[in-house]
Amino acid sequence: MGTTAQAQAGTAGAATGTPPARLRIPRPRWLRAYTTVLVIVDACAMAVATLTAKISWLGLNPEELKIRDFSIPYVALVLVTVPTWLVLLAFAGAYDLGPFGASTGSWTRIVRAGAQFLAVVAVGYYIAHLATLGRGVLAGTVPLAVILTLAMRAVAAFGLTWLRQRGGAQRTALLLGSRRSIDAFQSQLAANPAAGVRVVGVCPLSEHKPSVSGNGDDRTSGGSSAVPAGAEPPNGHRSAASDRAGLQPHPLAVAATLDRHRAETLIVTGGLAQGRLRDLARVLEGTGVEVLVSPTPADLEDLRSEIRPVAGLPLLYLDR
pLDDT digits (tens, 9 = 90+) for 21-65: 567 888 889 999 999 999 999 999 999 999 888 787 666 666 666
Regarding whether 300 and 192 lie in a shared domain, the answer is yes
pTM of the model: 0.71
Regarding whether 314 and 187 lie in a shared domain, the answer is yes
Domain at 201, CATH number: 3.40.50
Q: Find the mean pLDDT for residues 190-215.
A: 72
Question: Is 3 inside a domain boundary?
Answer: no
Confidence (pLDDT) at 34: 95
> How many domains are there within the chain?
2
Tell me what percent of the residues of the chain surpass a pLDDT of 90.
25
Regarding whether 138 and 265 lie in a shared domain, the answer is no
Regarding whether 174 and 314 lie in a shared domain, the answer is yes
> Domain boundary residue among 164, 189, 209?
164
Q: Find the mean pLDDT for residues 188-198.
A: 85
Regarding whether 204 and 159 lie in a shared domain, the answer is no
DSSP annotation string for the chain: -HHHHHHHHHHHHHHHT---TT---PPPHHHHHHHHHHHHHHHHHHHHHHHHHHHHHH-SS--EEEETTEEEEGGGGHHHHHHHHHHHHHHTTTT--TTTT--TTHHHHHHHHHHHHHHHHHHHHHHTT-TTS-HHHHHHHHHHHHHHHHHHHHHHHHHHHHHHHTT-S-EEEEEEEEHHHHHHHHHHHHH-GGG-EEEEEEEEE-SS----BSSTT----TT--PPPTTSS-TT-PPPGGGGTTSSPPPHHHHHHHHHHHT-SEEEEEE-PPTTHHHHHHHHHTTS--EEEE---GGGGTT--EEEEEETTEEEEEE--
Q: Say whether pLDDT at 182 is over 60.
A: yes
Q: Say whether pLDDT at 174 is over 50.
A: yes
Q: Find the mean pLDDT for residues 271-281.
A: 81
Regarding whether 154 and 56 lie in a shared domain, the answer is yes
Q: Is the distance from CB of 110 to CB of 149 less than 8 angstroms?
A: yes
Confidence (pLDDT) at 100: 82
Q: What residues make up the domain containing 279?
A: 170-318
Regarding whether 246 and 109 lie in a shared domain, the answer is no
Residue 305's pLDDT band, with cuts at 50, 70 and 90, is low
Regarding whether 269 and 144 lie in a shared domain, the answer is no
**Whole-number Å distance between alpha carbons of 320 and 304:** 7
Q: Say whether pLDDT at 208 is over 60.
A: no
**Whole-number Å distance between alpha carbons of 81 and 85:** 6
Regarding whether 186 and 117 lie in a shared domain, the answer is no
Question: Is 159 inside a domain boundary?
Answer: yes
**Whole-number Å distance between alpha carbons of 317 and 297:** 14
**Whole-number Å distance between alpha carbons of 152 and 154:** 5
> Domain boundary residue among 111, 131, 164?
164
Question: Is 152 inside a domain boundary?
Answer: yes
Question: Is 289 inside a domain boundary?
Answer: yes
| The residue count for the chain | 320
Question: Is 20 inside a domain boundary?
Answer: no
Regarding whether 156 and 64 lie in a shared domain, the answer is yes
Question: Is 4 inside a domain boundary?
Answer: no
Q: Is the distance from CB of 215 to CB of 191 less than 8 angstroms?
A: no
Q: pLDDT by residue (tens digit) across 252-261?
A: 888 888 989 8
Regarding whether 309 and 175 lie in a shared domain, the answer is yes
Question: Is 13 inside a domain boundary?
Answer: no
> Domain boundary residue among 164, 192, 220?
164
Question: Is 54 inside a domain boundary?
Answer: yes
Among 9-18, 61-70, 198-207, the range with the most confident prediction by mean pLDDT is 198-207
**Whole-number Å distance between alpha carbons of 312 and 8:** 42
